[in-house]
Amino acid sequence: APEGFYRVARSQLNPNSRHHLSFNLGFPNAYDRQLGRTGSALMVHGGCSSIGCYAITDAKVDEVYAVVEAALDAGQDAVDVHAFPFRLTDAALAREAGNPWLPYWQNLKTGFELFEATSNPPPVAACKGEYRFGADAGGPGCVAIAAWS
């Protein structure tokens, strides 16, 4: 399952999923596409088993789906989803010294820290193969991380 920053709009909800309820994460996003990643139908769903999706219990997907749907019903155009491999603390990243994914996880940590500091998802863009956040999420070569329209 991918890690990174995604957005979910109403068109990505699937109340008739074969896995109880589901929503499409929106993979590949602009970042994934800049790196040539392809795929489709990467879902968050109930059922507790999957190959590549984020499978959670039916009870938990009921809860998550309800929160996403309520936010959209209240006027949000999309809900931000941040998918990380683990809690991106300094200590956790230090334990990963030498891991080839460390630079990527350090990039994710920038967005993680902005959210932790403000409790609000920061603007996120894909900029020439890396994520940029907040005021840096713009400029030449940058594409906003967006939900399906």
Q: Which of 19, 20, 45, 127 is catalytic?
A: 45
B/e letters for 67-101, b = 16+ CB within 10 Å, e = fewer, are: ebbeebeeebebbbbbbeeeebeeeebeeeeeeee
Which one-letter amino acid corresponds to residue 82?
Answer: H
Q: Which of 19, 20, 48, 53 is catalytic?
A: 53
Whether 48 is a known active-site residue: answer no
Alpha-carbon span 51 to 76, nearest angstrom: 30
Whether 53 is a known active-site residue: answer yes
C-alpha atoms less than 13 angstroms from C-alpha of 148 in its C-beta half-sphere: 14
Alpha-carbon span 22 to 71, nearest angstrom: 16
Q: How many CB atoms lie within 10 A of CB 3?
A: 14
Alpha-carbon span 9 to 68, nearest angstrom: 9
Catalytic residues: 45, 53
